[in-house]
């Protein structure tokens, strides 16, 4: 969550902070606006290192794609689309807060998750996300896909 008026460049620093503590960084943006007719990187909103005076506002859609690439070894990058929404848990606050709601609802591939690298909080986040994937999709798919989806969204912990 973040206060109303926050820009993408301010959030970008928060996304990179865990890598920075290990002396690492990534060379791409953390997120960008999404357009239509193949205008994939559409502004004015974006989340990246470059200064951008455009504050994120409810209804804006951005990609969420931090990652890390070790040259010649591997790359880690997930990309979901999210929309900016008002954070309802702070309705009584003197300041309006916003958060992201995930639009891309598909399970993460469990075989690609290195459990030993995830903190308890990160595992809980994946479990909460997978519970949402199951709840949102299970009634929309056929029997075989439903069986696969049930396995794919089982809790990590």
pLDDT digits (tens, 9 = 90+) for 32-51: 999 877 777 888 999 999 99
Burial (0-12, 13-18, 19+ Cβ within 10 Å), 151: exposed
Whether residues 49 and 64 share a domain: the answer is: yes
Whether residues 95 and 112 share a domain: the answer is: no
Range of the domain at 78: 1-104
Query: How do beta strands 2-3 and 74-77 pair?
Result: unpaired
Whether residues 97 and 144 share a domain: the answer is: no
Q: Which residues is 74 bridged to in the sheet?
A: 70
* pTM of the predicted structure, to 2 decimals: 0.87
pLDDT at 41: 84
Whether residues 92 and 111 share a domain: the answer is: no
Number of H helices, E strands in the chain: 3, 8
> What are 10-20's pLDDT values in tens digits?
999 999 999 99
Structure tokens at 77: 């990058």
Domain count for the chain, please give it. 2
pLDDT at 37: 79
Whether residues 70 and 89 share a domain: the answer is: yes
SS3 assignment, position 87 = coil
Q: In this structure, what CATH number is given to the domain that contains residue 86? A: 3.90.230.10
Whether residues 94 and 110 share a domain: the answer is: no
Residue 99's pLDDT band (cuts 50, 70, 90): very high
Q: Are 33 and 62 in contact (CB under 8 A)?
A: yes
Whether residues 120 and 82 share a domain: the answer is: no
Tell me the percentage of the chain whose pLDDT exceeds 70.
100
SS3 assignment, position 30 = coil
pLDDT at 86 over 90: yes
Whether residues 38 and 87 share a domain: the answer is: yes
pLDDT at 136 over 90: yes
Whether residues 76 and 112 share a domain: the answer is: no
C-alpha–C-alpha distance, residues 112 and 99, integer Å: 27
Whether residues 48 and 94 share a domain: the answer is: yes
Whether residues 83 and 110 share a domain: the answer is: no
Whether residues 89 and 55 share a domain: the answer is: yes
Residue 17 has φ and ψ, to the nearest 5°, of -50, -45
């Amino acid at each position: 969550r973040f206060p109303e008026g926050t820009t993408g460049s301010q959030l970008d620093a928060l996304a990179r902070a865990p890598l920075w503590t290990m002396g690492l960084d990534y060379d791409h943006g953390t997120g960008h606006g999404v357009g239509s007719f193949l205008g994939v990187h559409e502004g004015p909103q974006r989340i990246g290192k470059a200064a951008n005076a455009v504050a994120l506002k409810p209804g804006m859609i951005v990609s969420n794609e931090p990652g890390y690439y070790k040259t010649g070894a591997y790359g880690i990058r997930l990309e979901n689309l999210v929309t900016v929404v008002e954070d309802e848990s702070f309705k009584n606050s003197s300041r309006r807060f916003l958060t992201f709601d995930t639009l891309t609802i598909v399970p993460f591939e469990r075989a690609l998750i290195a459990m030993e690298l995830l903190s308890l909080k990160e595992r809980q986040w994946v479990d909460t996300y997978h519970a949402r994937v199951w709840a949102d999709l299970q009634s929309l798919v056929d029997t075989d896909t439903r069986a696969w989806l049930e396995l794919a969204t089982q809790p990590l912990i």
